[in-house]
Amino acid sequence: MSTQPTPGRTLVTRRAIVDIVRTATLGSYGVTGFAGGPTARLLGWLGLAQPGIVVRLDDGLTVELDLTVAYGVPIAEVARQVDSAVRYAIEHALGREVRHFTIHVDGLRFGPIAAPPVPIAADPAIIRSRDLADSGTDVA
């Protein structure tokens, strides 16, 4: 193997590609994290793999994601946003296109983006302490 640099060539590891994909995915609206089974979580904890992200370099660049999405957001819109963000990040960072891209939504999660619906009081004459705050009215 030659130690002389070859102009115009770059070597990018699979781990670097996984980092790019993870950063772009977690920065997308509605994504709360990656899903994965107990084995994938254990490998992630040991630092041997990133659960929920599979990158293959066989016949072009293939990315497969297993995500959890915030409750109450449109899943199709989250998937479109993740698709766009990951494709842009890969093309911008590496100058390559993603040939195959698969997104699996494996679950919904209650989080800071969306909370479960609040039940409405049965008797409208009863005023609770949070009613004014929950109505969105500014109080001076």
Helix (H) or strand (E) holding 119: none
**Residue among 85, 61, 48 nearest 12 (CA):** 61
| pTM exceeds 0.85 for this model | no
Q: CATH for 14-134?
A: 3.30.70.1350
Q: Average pLDDT for consecutive 10-residue bins of the chain (140 residues)?
A: 66 87 93 78 68 86 91 90 94 91 87 53 59 55
Asked if 66 and 58 touch (Cβ cutoff 8 Å), the reply is no
Q: How many residues are listed for the chain in this entry?
A: 140
Asked if 21 and 57 touch (Cβ cutoff 8 Å), the reply is no
Residue 133 phi/psi, 5-degree rounding, is -65, -40
